[in-house]
Amino acid sequence: MLATKENTAKLSIVAVSLLIVMKVVGSILTGSIAIRADAFHSAIDLLGIVIGYIGIRISGKPPDERHAFGHGKAENIASVTIAGLIFVAAGTISYQAVKRLIAGAALELVTLGIYITAAAIVINVIISWYALRVARATDSIALEATARHMLVDVWSSCAVLVGLILVRVTGLSILDPIVALLVAGLIARIGYLTMKKSFGGLMDTKLPEAEEKEIASCIMEHSGQLVGFHEIRTRKAGNQRFIDLHLVMPKNVNVEEAHLMCDHLEQDIKNRLRDCSITIHIEPCSIECDQCSVPCNLRKRSP
């Protein structure tokens, strides 16, 4: 899993480097502020991918004396950093677009710019789609942030392409910075969504409702052997899930039986939710409970 994430990050670095070269050349030849903004966005992409790659490498390290719960939050930190870079890209593009609107300038070799932008879109679509697919398969938040950042680049390039085509058809060069402003707005929105998801892991937000229901379902499958459960707490760091709960068992169950039940329950949960670390606290039931259906010769019954 770790090797796959690292290789995908390396592939993304090579692809985005190629895109930067293409867009810089295109912006120089055409004088397009939109292509220049797109090139700057790709440069932010590259920096974000490198940060994501570092985060993935660190998060893959096993737990040690100082980090007993592993290094999973390195991916969350990398993802937050990438989100910050996305906001920087949006602000810079907006600034350049406003300057062009005020100053005004004609474009040259617009057709060449269209070809370069179209080629960049094709390359970016393939790489970002593959990176997002691997991110979902490996549950990597850093790689997902990288992939989504590259997808933003796809949409921004599409907007640039439409703008260049309109400039080519209408001859109105003012459309170029207007498109750049639209791209900046789109980039800022993706930055917000990426930041929101990344902070969830840093703030120890609980697992999604669907995943917590899976945990409860696993426990309830053993209702004939367990009295009940409570105080479920969940969180996630990178791709690692942490779950702890209190399990109530019949008072007459011995230590070995309780241990075997915990092992069995942990395996059931891990079969449904990958990358889990589970802690279970065993509690004895109250023998005054006469509503329990679990066989127990210690329970007091109503006269």
CATH 3.30.70.1350 residue ranges of the chain are: 209-284
pLDDT score, position 102 = 76
Q: Are 159 and 186 in contact (CB under 8 A)?
A: yes
Q: Are 249 and 296 in contact (CB under 8 A)?
A: no
- C-alpha torsion 28→31→36→38, nearest 10: -110
d(CA 31, CA 251): 79
Per-residue pLDDT of the chain (303 residues), as tens digits, is 555 767 777 788 888 888 888 888 887 887 776 677 778 777 777 777 777 777 767 776 777 777 666 666 777 777 787 778 778 877 877 887 787 777 766 666 778 878 888 888 888 888 888 888 888 787 777 677 777 777 777 877 787 788 788 877 887 777 777 877 877 787 788 778 777 777 766 666 788 888 888 888 888 887 777 777 888 888 877 677 889 899 888 877 888 888 988 888 888 898 888 888 888 998 887 765 555 666 665 555 444
Beta bridge partners of 228: 248
pLDDT score, position 97 = 75
Q: Which CATH number is correct for 209-284, 3.30.70.1350, 3.20.20.70, 1.10.10.10, 3.40.50.300?
A: 3.30.70.1350
Q: What is the pTM of this model?
A: 0.55
pLDDT score, position 297 = 56
pLDDT score, position 68 = 62
Q: Which fold is adopted by the domain 2-202?
A: Alpha-lytic protease prodomain-like (1.20.1510)
Two structure tokens written together for 197: 């998801």
Q: Are 182 and 125 in contact (CB under 8 A)?
A: no
Report DSSP state, residue 25. Answer: H
Torsions phi, psi for 286 (to 5 deg): -95, 125
pLDDT score, position 299 = 52
Q: Calculate Rg over the CA atoms of the chain.
A: 27
CATH 1.20.1510.10 residue ranges of the chain are: 2-202
Q: Which residue has the tokens 């906001």?
A: 87
pLDDT score, position 1 = 53
pLDDT score, position 203 = 67
pLDDT score, position 303 = 44
pLDDT score, position 169 = 83
pLDDT score, position 302 = 43
